[in-house]
Amino acid sequence: MKKRLGSILFFAMVAVLALIFISPFMVMVLTSFKTNSDAFTIPVKVFPRQWVTDNYPAAFAAIPYFRYMGNTVFITAISLVGQLLVTPLIAYSLAKIKWKGADIISGLVMATMMIPITVTMVPMYKIYSRLGLTSTYIPLILPAFFGKAYYIVIVRQFFAGIPNSLIEAGEIDGATEFQRYYKIALPLCKPVLTTIGIFAFLDAWSDYLYPLIFITKPSMYTLSLGLQQYMSEYSIDWSRLMAAAVVFVLPVIVCFAVFQRNFVEGIATSGLKA
């Protein structure tokens, strides 16, 4: 009886917490189906007094939404490919290949995680400006092909947990170092690659600061910049803005829902906390 009561209390607490976390998203969705006046009518009601669907086409018409969507998809896809190609290579070399300075490099990689982004913004802008790469997507895409410290640490931690006997068995069979990485180590790290893939997707998809710094042409704006432009240039119709925000967030929710199991498994097996 006590065990059942404890289970009921536990699931009730989880349900309440889930409701708290999901409530902002639900308010956003429900507001997208309200008129602008309904959204601010006192007393405020959670559900629309009158359900409308005009906010979605109106939001798409207010800004070149699908152009911005295409720009965002392009940047996100290339950045994701870069992270998934480079990060496991770097992590494997630090975890499984014996070479002088590996521990020092690992320490330096982790140390870079403590550097605030505000410290690197101005130097990075000056570098790309002198190279004539501002107002292009290169500053947004190129860093992905050098790995991100946090992702490298996660994957390195995972590789460190793989028994050396598996790698040595491949060496005994005559496999080269790259073959041991590609055929033995890499297939084992699918869960953690899914984890960093979701992180990389979220970073690139929702990034606002770097596009704001490097992109000056309106035709090259990402969705995050486009939504900010909508708020700045027009009297804000919050219902339409919420409609645009719902479409912006949906790919993130779908991505997490599809890969949720692998994401949790990757976090658990890497030894790090989300």
Going from the N-terminus, what domains does the chain have, and what CATH number goes with each?
A: 63-234+251-270 (1.10.3720.10)
Q: Name the nearest CA neighbour of 71 among 79, 83, 62, 61.
A: 79
pLDDT in tens, 70-105: 999 999 999 999 999 999 999 999 988 888 888 888
Q: Give the tens place of pLDDT for each residue, 3-38.
A: 777 788 888 888 888 888 888 888 888 888 888 788
Q: What is the mean pLDDT of the chain?
A: 83
The string of DSSP letters for 43-99 reads: SP-SS-SS---THHHHHHHHTTHHHHHHHHHHHHHHHHHHHHHHHHHHHHHHHHS--
The mean pLDDT value for 252-270 works out to 67
- Tens digit of each residue's pLDDT (9 = 90 or more) over 201-236: 989 998 988 999 999 888 899 988 888 777 655 567
Average pLDDT over residues 237-260: 81
Residue 233 has a pLDDT of: 56
Residues 182-193, mean pLDDT to the nearest whole number: 85
pLDDT value, residue 273: 45
Contacts 24+ apart (CB under 8 A), 243-249: 243/32, 243/55, 243/56, 243/58, 243/59, 244/59, 244/60, 244/62, 244/63, 244/65, 245/28, 245/32, 246/28, 246/29, 246/32, 247/56, 247/59, 247/65, 248/223, 248/224, 249/25, 249/28
Instruction: Please give the Cα distance from 269 to 183 (Å, whole number).
Output: 20
Q: 125, 213 in Cβ contact below 8 A? A: yes
Q: Which residues contact 97 (CB under 8 A, 6 or more apart)?
A: 177
d(CA 63, CA 53): 18
Can you tell me the distance from the alpha carbon of 265 to that of 52, in angstroms, rounded to the nearest whole number?
A: 41
Q: 161, 206 in Cβ contact below 8 A? A: no
